[in-house]
Amino acid sequence: MLNFKYKNPTKIIFGKDQISALQQEIPVEANILLLYGGGSIKKNGIYQQVKDALSQHHVEEFGGIPANPEYEVLMEALKLIKEKNINYLLAVGGGSVIDGTKYLAAAAKYNGDAWDILRNSIYTLEGEALPFSTVLTLPATGSEMNSGYVISRRATQEKLSAGGPGLFPQVSVLDPEVIRSIPKNQISNGIADAYTHVLEQYMTYPVGASLQDRFAESILQSLQEVAPKVMSEEFNYTAAADFMWCCTMALNGLIQKGVPTDWSVHAIGHELTAYYNIDHARTLAIIAPSHYRYNLKYKKEKLAQYGERVWGIECGTTEEKALLAIEKLETFFHSLGIKTKLSEYTEDYNGTAERVEKTFKDRNMLGIGERKQLSPSDARSIVEMSY
């Protein structure tokens, strides 16, 4: 096991009818900015539950944060934060709204051009951000219990990430009932996103961290078990709760402690979203299988273990089990209605591989992956295999 430090101070309030707890959790003297996305929270009743909980608080609002939260939109919110002397943020939404809120929490206390934080990946320490809480409306990214975020800037086609220990939510309310009104394509995205988060922290070289491996496999197995239930038309609270907790545990920092992590699938996938606006989760499903095939010699032991323990593959050499496990992974994505080839999303895919290579070179991303040894030309090859 590798040495590690772990601290996660976010308070999770999980379950039915828990949004009302915000009343006690947020200081009554806070000057709150409530942030949300496209307005679905006004249709499904969540907005009203939040407003009811905060009826004794002063609350300003900022809606319209888009998926892959946009720098330009967030700068409007930052202006409002400064004008209204906001000192507490409340994100009501999915990963995009929460990520945008984290960026705003950091930017509100940053002296200088807010884009610098992302351009230079500035680490936000405790006390260097506004306090904030979240009400999760779309399980997927784990942002409700971690301190990282990703922001897009359409004008420059950039998608960059930052974070730091000052950016853990104070409180996150997770009510599985919110899953009732989520469109199925967003649920399938959430499953694929959480599943790939686990893979990025697990499908690496073995270091004998048996508990972390088993925790990762536990999340993968539970997501597989829960997928058909949360994708079915009939709402199943037990499955919804399982799904929601799996997504949080997939990226709250726990399973990555003491083990190498990869994140190449995300690094490459982010480019596909930046170029073609493909949903984040779907870019991961496009890149992951090719990434594992391309890096088979480094990852075959863990791929075979995944095949054995998660998919019950019993026969074959390590390499055969590993290859079969990648097929199982693709089949799982397909079972969610998620396509795994870039050409199934855009006809305009020629040149993508070269463009990724050039972008990585320009950004000085010369070695990615768990051994920091995948070059921009390796990334090009992986994208080519994903066409």
* Site residues for a copy of itself per CB under 8 A: 1-16, 18, 176, 207-212, 214-215, 217-219, 221-222, 225-226, 238-239, 241-242, 245-246, 249, 254, 257-258
Distance between CA atoms of 135 and 173, rounded to whole angstroms?
5
Shortest gap between Cβ of 71 and a copy of itself (angstroms)? 32
With respect to a copy of itself, which residue has the nearer C-beta, 13 or 91?
13
Give the strand pairing for 31-36 and 132-136: unpaired
Shortest gap between Cβ of 300 and a copy of itself (angstroms)? 20
Shortest gap between Cβ of 244 and a copy of itself (angstroms)? 9
Shortest gap between Cβ of 5 and a copy of itself (angstroms)? 5
Shortest gap between Cβ of 276 and a copy of itself (angstroms)? 33
For the chain, the distance separating the N- and C-terminal CA atoms, rounded to the nearest angstrom, is: 37
Q: Is the dihedral of CA 358, 269, 95, 124 positive or negative?
A: negative
Shortest gap between Cβ of 248 and a copy of itself (angstroms)? 10
With respect to a copy of itself, which residue has the nearer C-beta, 170 or 343?
170
Nearest to 77 by CA among 92, 88, 91, 61: 61
Distance between CA atoms of 282 and 286, rounded to whole angstroms?
6
- The full DSSP string for 151-177 is EEEGGGTEEEEEE-GGGS-SEEEE-GG
With respect to a copy of itself, which residue has the nearer C-beta, 256 or 295?
256
Within 277-317, residue ranges assigned H as helices are 280-294, 296-311
With respect to a copy of itself, which residue has the nearer C-beta, 197 or 270?
197
- DSSP 3-state of 117: helix
Shortest gap between Cβ of 241 and a copy of itself (angstroms)? 4
Residue with tokens 């870039």: 342
Those residues whose C-beta lies under 8 Å from the C-beta of residue 84, and which sit 6 or more positions away, are 31, 33, 60
With respect to a copy of itself, which residue has the nearer C-beta, 254 or 284?
254
With respect to a copy of itself, which residue has the nearer C-beta, 218 or 346?
218
At residue 31, what are phi and psi to the nearest 5 degrees? -105, 100
With respect to a copy of itself, which residue has the nearer C-beta, 50 or 246?
246
DSSP assignment letter at 42: H
